[in-house]
């Protein structure tokens, strides 16, 4: 009998390949299908379920299902010792289904279904290993994402007066358009972890590695980018694209700096995801939708491969994630090590690998735009930092000595986890050229002066040099640097602390108010006090009723006495 992993893998892979073939047909014929199903009509407001089928939705769904099928097959080996593997696989399938709901819909109501599904299932997956660190990370993830859910609900409420929620069909005036787009932009920023909502992304590393591979490549973090891809025309016409450009550039810079000071293998890859998301958002703010989508797909391939290889390395190194002890990967596990090296080169845009085609085009497109020096330098420096932390990681994994245990058996056996890498490896090497021919209908020729053309190569070379310099910093030299500076850079500009304070303090004050006001003075002067006074008065009346005859005689006596005194005077 086949396990749930094998069954899920086969089904998802078949659906993925059929969707990719359909997407080729849609690109060739330039087809778009829009299906509308009216669920409810109240006066002039129609609640509709809308499905938009175009080449972009089909190719993205194909990629998501392709990566998730490989991740599920990988999980059979990686999560093999888990007692609840069936529950884990079902959660992953629910996660993928929520992403499908989001991809297919241009309607805010049906987007919300997939959007909330992603948030809730991601919480269940982050807290899968039930310990205090996972619970804290899960809480940070879900609370940050709730901000985006609230702004999405507010945009739905705002558009109630237009009789529908299809942003394609609504003609908004400038102020209203800006308000709706601002709310949607905040939603996209929370899901795609742009500043100031970045701290949940590295915290979500508490999830199992297969989940990290899925979340960081093609599902949760790409939801915000995909939302902005769909509504990009409205974003540009609302004038909010310059605000997004600044946010994206700062996010890229912050994550690139942080990754150079990080020693946790999974966190370095998580921060690289944050950097690439900033690049996609920056590309969207320039109006280069196809380039952003192209980079989204290419990034999904090599980032999933990078995470699966990192998971294998962590497993073989006895669940150790510190790269300072992970030397000699090329000698000990040459197969996984070489695949990891290729994925790392694709990430930093090595020529003719998948990342090169999209990143190079985005950077040259950026050079041809009329931006100021600050944005330009931030964008290019951040790209250099990507190369820097990639080379630092490679040198620490391949060039330094293995310094973990004095004796340890590490086998590079051809297991399931290695078999899963071949499909992603082929796509990471060939995918860039193949999909650039498919998606970009004419070759992008960007004419620039010689200096600007060479700027990309210059920044990449500078990044390689910085990465090797940072690698040469020994521990005592790290300590000799300004302690507060290193702490500031390494902790993502204190963002996790600020985020946790923003969450913790309102909860603390809420508890304080509940104890002091709701259960304190309000109780004393309100319901509890009324109850006590009523009880006292009813007891008094009860005593009167119990001693009725004696009281009658005493009152009669006093009444007669009063009458006599009045008569005498």
**Residue-wise pLDDT tens digits, 11-57:** 988 999 999 999 989 988 888 898 888 888 877 777 778 888 888 89
Question: What's the confidence (pLDDT) of residue 443?
Answer: 64
Indicate the pTM of the whole model. 0.85
Question: What's the confidence (pLDDT) of residue 421?
Answer: 74
Q: Measured between alpha carbons, how far is 85 from 83 in angstroms, rounded to an integer?
A: 6
Q: Measured between alpha carbons, how far is 127 from 129 in angstroms, rounded to an integer?
A: 6
Structure-token pair, residue 388: 């820097």
User: Which runs of consecutive H residues, i.e. helices, occur in 369-415?
Assistant: 373-398
Residue 192 contacts by C-beta under 8 Å, 6 or more apart in sequence? Answer: 221, 222, 223, 224, 225, 277, 280, 281
Q: Containing H/E element for 32?
A: strand 32-42
Q: Measured between alpha carbons, how far is 236 from 234 in angstroms, rounded to an integer?
A: 6
Phi, psi (degrees; rounded to nearest 5) at 216: -85, -10
**70-91: pLDDT as tens digits:** 888 888 877 777 788 888 889 9
Give SS3 for 216. Answer: helix
Task: Compute the half-sphere exposure of residue 146: CA atoms within 13 Å on the CB side of its CA.
Answer: 9
Question: What's the confidence (pLDDT) of residue 18?
Answer: 93
For residues 433 and 352, the answer to whether their CB atoms sit within 8 Å is yes
Residue in 278, 241, 281 with CA at minimum distance from that of residue 256? 278
Q: Measured between alpha carbons, how far is 425 from 35 in angstroms, rounded to an integer?
A: 36
41 pairs with which residues across the strands? Answer: 46
Q: Measured between alpha carbons, how far is 257 from 241 in angstroms, rounded to an integer?
A: 24
Q: Measured between alpha carbons, how far is 202 from 309 in angstroms, rounded to an integer?
A: 18
Structure-token pair, residue 171: 């003609």
Give SS3 for 17. Answer: helix
Q: What is the DSSP string of 33-76?
A: EEEEEEEEEETTEEEEEEEEEEHHHHHHHHHHHHHHHHHHHHHH
Question: What's the confidence (pLDDT) of residue 61?
Answer: 92
Q: Across the chain, how many H-helices and E-strands are there?
A: 25, 2
Question: What's the confidence (pLDDT) of residue 493?
Answer: 73
For residues 455 and 343, the answer to whether their CB atoms sit within 8 Å is no
Question: What's the confidence (pLDDT) of residue 22?
Answer: 92
Longest dimension (CA), the chain: 126
Q: Measured between alpha carbons, how far is 432 from 559 in angstroms, rounded to an integer?
A: 109
Per-residue pLDDT of the chain (569 residues; tens, 9 = 90+): 568 888 888 898 899 999 999 998 998 888 889 888 888 887 777 777 888 888 889 999 999 999 999 888 888 877 777 788 888 889 989 989 999 988 988 888 888 888 888 888 989 988 888 888 888 888 888 888 888 889 999 988 888 777 677 766 666 677 777 888 889 899 999 988 888 888 888 888 888 888 888 888 878 888 889 989 988 888 888 888 888 899 999 999 888 888 888 888 888 888 888 999 999 999 999 888 888 999 999 999 888 888 888 888 887 777 788 888 887 787 777 888 888 888 888 888 888 888 888 888 888 888 888 888 888 888 888 888 888 888 888 888 888 777 666 555 555 554 545 666 788 888 888 888 888 888 877 666 778 888 888 888 888 888 888 877 777 765 445 555 666 777 777 777 777 777 767 766 777 888 888 877 777 777 777 766 777 888 888 888 777 777 666 777 788 888 899 998 888 87
Residue 343 contacts by C-beta under 8 Å, 6 or more apart in sequence? Answer: 302, 303, 305, 306, 309, 425, 428
Residue in 159, 286, 301 with CA at minimum distance from that of residue 232? 286
Question: What's the confidence (pLDDT) of residue 15?
Answer: 92
Distance of CA 40 to the CA centre of its chain: 32
Q: Measured between alpha carbons, how far is 237 from 229 in angstroms, rounded to an integer?
A: 14
Question: What's the confidence (pLDDT) of residue 16?
Answer: 92
Distance of CA 307 to the CA centre of its chain: 16
Residue 470 burial by CB count (10 A; 0-12/13-18/19+): exposed, middle or buried? middle
């Amino acid at each position: 009998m086949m396990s749930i992993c094998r069954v899920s893998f086969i089904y998802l892979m078949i659906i993925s390949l059929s969707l990719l073939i359909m997407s080729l047909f849609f690109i060739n014929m330039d087809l778009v299908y829009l299906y509308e199903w009216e669920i409810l009509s109240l006066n002039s407001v129609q609640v509709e379920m809308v499905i938009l089928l175009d080449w972009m939705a089909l190719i993205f769904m194909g990629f998501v299902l392709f990566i998730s099928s490989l991740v599920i097959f990988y999980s059979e080996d990686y999560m093999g010792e888990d007692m609840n593997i069936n529950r884990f696989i079902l959660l992953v399938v629910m996660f993928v289904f929520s992403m499908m709901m989001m991809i297919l819909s241009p309607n805010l109501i049906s987007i919300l279904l997939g959007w909330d599904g992603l948030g809730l299932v991601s919480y269940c997956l982050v807290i899968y290993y039930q310990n205090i660190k996972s619970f804290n990370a899960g809480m940070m993830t879900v609370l940050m994402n709730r901000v985006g859910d609230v702004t999405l609900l507010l945009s739905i409420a705002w558009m109630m007066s237009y009789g529908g929620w299809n942003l394609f069909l609504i003609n908004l005036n400038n102020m209203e358009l800006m308000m709706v787009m601002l709310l949607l932009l905040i939603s996209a920023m929370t899901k795609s972890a742009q500043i100031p909502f970045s701290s949940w992304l590295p915290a979500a590393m508490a999830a199992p590695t297969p989940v990290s591979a899925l979340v960081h490549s093609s599902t949760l973090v790409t939801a915000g980018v995909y939302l902005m891809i769909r509504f990009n025309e409205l974003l540009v016409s609302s004038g909010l694209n310059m605000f997004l450009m600044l946010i994206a550039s700062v996010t890229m810079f912050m994550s690139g700096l942080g990754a150079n000071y990080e020693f946790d293998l999974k966190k370095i890859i998580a921060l690289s995801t944050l950097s690439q998301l900033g690049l996609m958002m920056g590309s969207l703010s320039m109006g280069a939708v196809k380039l952003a989508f192209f980079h989204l797909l290419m990034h999904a391939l090599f980032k999933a491969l990078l995470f699966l290889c990192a998971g294998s390395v962590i497993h073989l190194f006895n669940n150790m994630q510190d790269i300072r002890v992970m030397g000699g990967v090329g000698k000990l596990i040459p197969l996984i090590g070489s695949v990891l090296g290729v994925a790392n080169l694709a990430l930093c845009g090595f020529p003719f690998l998948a990342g090169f085609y999209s990143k190079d085009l985005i950077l040259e497109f950026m050079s041809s735009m009329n931006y100021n020096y600050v944005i330009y330098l931030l964008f290019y420096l951040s790209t250099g930092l990507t190369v820097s932390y990639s080379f630092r990681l490679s040198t620490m994994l391949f060039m330094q000595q293995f310094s973990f245990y004095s004796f340890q058996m590490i086998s590079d056996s051809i297991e399931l986890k290695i078999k899963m890498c071949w499909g992603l490896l082929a796509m990471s090497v060939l995918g860039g050229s193949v999909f650039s021919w498919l998606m970009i209908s004419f070759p992008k020729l960007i004419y620039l002066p010689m200096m600007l053309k060479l700027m990309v190569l210059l920044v990449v070379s500078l990044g390689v040099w910085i990465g090797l310099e940072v690698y040469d910093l020994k521990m005592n030299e790290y300590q000799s640097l300004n302690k507060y500076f290193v702490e500031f850079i390494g902790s993502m500009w204190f963002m996790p602390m600020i985020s946790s304070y923003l969450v913790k303090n309102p909860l603390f004050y809420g508890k304080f108010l509940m104890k002091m006001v709701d259960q304190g003075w309000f109780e004393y002067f309100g319901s509890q006090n009324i109850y006590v006074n009523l009880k006292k008065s009813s007891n008094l009346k009860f005593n009167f009723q119990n001693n009725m005859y004696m009281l009658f005689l005493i009152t009669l006596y006093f009444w007669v006495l009063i009458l006599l005194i009045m008569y005498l005077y």
